[in-house]
Structure 1
Amino acid sequence: MSPWANLSLGFTYLSPVVGVYTLFAYALATGGPPMIWSFLIVGIGQFMVALVFSEVVAQFPVAGGVYPWARRLWGRRYAWMTGWVYMVALLVTIASVVYGAGPYIAATFGFTATVNTTIVCALVLLGLATAINFMGTKVLAMAALIGFTAEILGALAVGGWLLIAHREHDLGVLFDTFGTGGGGSYLPAFAAAALIGVFQYYGFEACGDVAEEVADPGRLIPKAMRRTIYIGGAAATFVCLALVLSVTDIAAVVSGEAADPVSTVLDQAFGDVGAKIVLLVVLLSFLSCAMSLQAAASRLAYSYGRDGMILGSSLLKKFSQARHVPPYALVVAALVPAAIVLGSKFSTDAITKIISFASLGIYIGFQMVVLAALRARLKGWVPSGKYTLGRWGLPVNIAALVYGVIAIVNMAWPRTPDSPWYDNWIVALSGLVVIGTGLVYMAAHPLHGRSTAPYDDAIPKDPVKS
Structure 2
Amino acid sequence: MTVTTDPTPPAPPSPGDAGDGSLAEFGYRQELRRRMGRYASFAAGFSFISVLTTVFQFFALGYSFGGPLFFWTWPAVLVGQLLVAACFAELAARLPIAGAIYQWASRLGSPAFGWYAGWIMVVGRVVVVAAAALALQVVLPAIWSGFQIVGGDPSPTTTSGAANAALLGLVLLALTTLLNVLDNRALSAVNTVGVTAEIVGVALIVTLLATHAERDPGITLHTGGEGGLIAALLVGSFTAAYVLIGFESASEMSEETVNPRRTAPRTTLSALTTSGLCGGLLLLGGLLAAPSLTDGRLASEGLSYVLTSTLGDGLGKVLLADVALAVCAATLAIQTSATRMLYSMARDGVLPQSARLAKVPRRTGMPGTAAVVVGVCAGLLLLLNLGSPQAFLAIGTTCIAMVYLAYAMVTGPMLIRRLKGQWPPADGGDRDELGKPLFSLGRWGLPVNALAVGYGLFMTVNLSWPRGEVYDPEGGHWYFQWFTVLFVGITVATGAVYRWYRSRMGAVSSTKDPGGQARTEPALDEAVRN
Q: Provide the TM-score with structure 1 as the length reference.
A: 0.92
Aligned length: 458
The answer to whether the 8 A contact 1:58-1:219 is kept is yes
* Superposed displacement of residue 383, structure 1: 1.9
Which runs of structure 2 are paired with 1:184-333 in the superposition (5 Å)? Answer: 186-253=229-296, 259-333=300-374
One-letter code aligned to 1:158 = I
Which SS does the other structure have where 1:285 is aligned?
helix
Cα deviation per residue 1:125-160 (whole Å; 9 max; x = unaligned)? 111212222222222212111111111110110111
User: Within 1, Cα distance between the matches of 2:234 and 2:218?
Assistant: 21
Match of 1:69 among 104, 107, 111: 104
User: Within 1, Cα distance between the matches of 2:502 and 2:460?
Assistant: 29
Which SS does the other structure have where 1:250 is aligned?
coil
Match of 1:176 among 222, 226, 245: 222
- More helix by proportion, 1 or 2? 1
Which runs of structure 2 are paired with 1:72-151 in the superposition (5 Å)? Answer: 72-111=107-146, 112=148, 113=154, 114=160, 115-151=162-198
The answer to whether the 8 A contact 2:64-2:225 is kept is no
Deviates more, 1:420-429 or 1:137-146: 420-429
The answer to whether the 8 A contact 2:90-2:265 is kept is yes
Match of 1:436 among 487, 493, 515: 493
The answer to whether the 8 A contact 2:129-2:331 is kept is yes
Task: Rate the CA distance shift 1:179–1:154 in 2: closer, same or farther, 3 A.
Answer: closer
Cα deviation per residue 1:93-137 (whole Å; 9 max; x = unaligned)? 111111221342233232234355433321111112122222222
> Per chain length, whose mean CA-contact separation is higher, i.e. which structure has more relative contact order (CA < 8 Å, sep 6+)?
1
- 2:70 corresponds in structure 1 to 35
Match of 1:402 among 424, 447, 454: 454
One-letter code aligned to 1:225 = T
User: Within 2, Cα distance between the matches of 1:24 and 1:368?
Assistant: 29
Task: Rate the CA distance shift 1:257–1:290 in 2: closer, same or farther, 3 A.
Answer: closer
Task: Rate the CA distance shift 1:155–1:429 in 2: closer, same or farther, 3 A.
Answer: same
* Superposed displacement of residue 392, structure 1: 1.5
Which runs of structure 2 are paired with 1:423-462 in the superposition (5 Å)? Answer: 423-446=480-503, 450-455=508-513, 457=515
Cα deviation per residue 1:353-405 (whole Å; 9 max; x = unaligned)? 44441110011111101112112223332325522212211111101001111
One-letter code aligned to 2:259 = D
Task: Rate the CA distance shift 1:156–1:354 in 2: closer, same or farther, 3 A.
Answer: closer
Task: Rate the CA distance shift 1:128–1:376 in 2: closer, same or farther, 3 A.
Answer: same
Which SS does the other structure have where 2:350 is aligned?
coil
One-letter code aligned to 2:235 = A
- 2:49 corresponds in structure 1 to 14
One-letter code aligned to 2:466 = P
* Superposed displacement of residue 294, structure 1: 0.9
Task: Rate the CA distance shift 1:179–1:207 in 2: closer, same or farther, 3 A.
Answer: closer
* Superposed displacement of residue 238, structure 1: 0.8
Return structure 1 stretches of 4+ with deviation > 6 angstroms: 458-463
* Superposed displacement of residue 334, structure 1: 1.0
Task: Rate the CA distance shift 1:42–1:281 in 2: closer, same or farther, 3 A.
Answer: same
Cα deviation per residue 1:287-306 (whole Å; 9 max; x = unaligned)? 01100011101101110111
Cα deviation per residue 1:287-345 (whole Å; 9 max; x = unaligned)? 01100011101101110111001111011111133332111111111111111123433
Match of 1:46 among 73, 78, 81: 81
Match of 1:369 among 401, 410, 422: 410
The answer to whether the 8 A contact 1:76-1:448 is kept is no
User: Within 2, Cα distance between the matches of 1:326 and 1:364?
Assistant: 26
* Superposed displacement of residue 348, structure 1: 4.7
Q: Provide the TM-score with structure 2 as the length reference.
A: 0.81
User: Within 1, Cα distance between the matches of 2:179 and 2:224?
Assistant: 45
The answer to whether the 8 A contact 1:354-1:430 is kept is no
User: Within 2, Cα distance between the matches of 1:258 and 1:362?
Assistant: 26
One-letter code aligned to 1:344 = N
Which SS does the other structure have where 1:43 is aligned?
helix
Task: Rate the CA distance shift 1:257–1:368 in 2: closer, same or farther, 3 A.
Answer: closer
Task: Rate the CA distance shift 1:267–1:352 in 2: closer, same or farther, 3 A.
Answer: closer
User: Within 1, Cα distance between the matches of 2:191 and 2:302?
Assistant: 29
User: Within 2, Cα distance between the matches of 1:336 and 1:383?
Assistant: 37
One-letter code aligned to 1:177 = T
The two structures, once aligned, show a CA RMSD in angstroms of: 2.5
One-letter code aligned to 2:252 = D
The answer to whether the 8 A contact 1:97-1:289 is kept is yes
User: Within 2, Cα distance between the matches of 1:227 and 1:404?
Assistant: 20
Deviates more, 1:170-179 or 1:442-451: 442-451
Which SS does the other structure have where 1:32 is aligned?
helix
Which SS does the other structure have where 2:295 is aligned?
helix
User: Within 1, Cα distance between the matches of 2:352 and 2:65?
Assistant: 44
The answer to whether the 8 A contact 1:380-1:460 is kept is no
Which runs of 5 or more structure 1 residues have no equivalent in the other structure? none
Cα deviation per residue 1:140-192 (whole Å; 9 max; x = unaligned)? 2121111111111101101111111x21110111112236555xxx2333211
One-letter code aligned to 1:84 = W
Which SS does the other structure have where 1:252 is aligned?
coil
User: Within 2, Cα distance between the matches of 1:83 and 1:460?
Assistant: 17
- 1:357 corresponds in structure 2 to 398
